[in-house]
């Protein structure tokens, strides 16, 4: 009886090993199992709940301006890019007016409108502070949209948004002779495909360009 039990046990263990080996070999050529994560799209998304593109501005640091003022900004932020250009004696304004544009990475509007959101005020004030530190500099503000919707409406929205930012900068103390604005509608995409939510969000933007140092 004990011999039969031992024989049966050994046979059972052997069968398990055979099945295990077959399964392992079978998985080599089978398609990988993909476990879908329903939250993956939200987690990896680069747009917020309002449809605005979320820019990677880098690590925060204190930027010291020529007049001694300091701004706490990101290493890749609009503020730092504008400062570097203005502060570099070797950088020059290109005669090509399509060159030198920098996207305002934290300026947002209400959907389909030219009303600035509250979070936009910080960056606008930072731009004002930079312009105050470089009093001879002049800039242009450009408004852009994606190509969804009516072209005429897009043109108006882009123009109104560029003007809104310009007016806010003037209101905060910059002379109007130092700044101009223009809307470009669904032109000059930064994300050429314009075929995804993230791509279109990048194209709906307001840019700034130094026109004189």
On whether the CB atoms of residues 110 and 117 are closer than 8 A, the answer is yes
The per-residue pLDDT for 45 is 77
- E strands in 23-162: 60-64, 70-74, 102-103, 138-144
The per-residue pLDDT for 44 is 60
What string of DSSP letters covers 20-54?
HHHHHHHHHHSPPP----TTHHHHH-SB-TTS-B-
Q: How far apart, in Å, are the Cα atoms of 18 and each of 12, 21, 31, 62?
A: 10, 5, 22, 65
On whether the CB atoms of residues 122 and 106 are closer than 8 A, the answer is yes
The per-residue pLDDT for 29 is 36
The per-residue pLDDT for 22 is 36
57 C-beta neighbours (distance < 10 Å), count: 17
Q: What is the pLDDT along the chain (213 residues), one digit of tens a residue?
A: 444 444 444 444 444 443 333 333 333 333 333 333 333 333 467 999 889 999 999 999 999 999 999 999 999 999 999 999 999 999 999 999 999 999 999 999 988 889 999 999 999 999 999 999 999 999 999 999 999 999 999 999 999 999 999 999 999 999 999 999 999 999 999 999 999 999 999 999 999 999 999
Q: How far apart are CA 37 and CA 133, in angstroms?
A: 49
Q: Is the pTM of this model over 0.95?
A: no
Q: How far apart, in Å, are the Cα atoms of 89 and each of 84, 102, 137, 151?
A: 10, 19, 13, 41
CATH 3.40.1190.20 fits 56-212, yes or no: no
3-class secondary structure, 180: strand
């Amino acid at each position: 009886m004990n011999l039969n039990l031992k024989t049966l046990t050994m046979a059972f263990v052997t069968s398990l090993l055979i099945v295990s080996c077959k399964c392992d070999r079978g998985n080599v050529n089978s398609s990988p199992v993909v476990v879908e994560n329903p939250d993956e799209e939200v987690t990896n998304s680069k747009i917020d709940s309002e449809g605005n593109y979320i820019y990677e501005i880098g690590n925060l640091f204190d930027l010291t301006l020529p007049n001694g003022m300091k701004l706490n900004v990101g290493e890749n932020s609009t503020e730092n890019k504008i400062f570097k250009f203005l502060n570099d004696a070797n950088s020059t304004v290109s005669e090509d007016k399509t060159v030198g544009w920098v996207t305002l990475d934290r300026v947002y509007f209400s959907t389909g409108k030219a009303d600035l959101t509250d979070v936009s005020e910080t960056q606008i004030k930072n731009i004002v502070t930079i312009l105050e530190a470089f009093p001879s500099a002049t800039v242009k503000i450009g408004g852009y949209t994606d190509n969804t919707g009516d072209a005429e409406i897009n043109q108006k929205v882009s123009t109104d948004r560029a003007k809104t930012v310009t007016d806010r900068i003037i209101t905060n103390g910059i002379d109007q002779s130092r700044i101009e604005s223009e809307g470009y509608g669904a032109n000059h995409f930064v994300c050429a495909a314009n075929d995804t939510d993230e791509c279109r969000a990048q194209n709906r933007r307001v840019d700034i360009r130094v026109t004189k140092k």
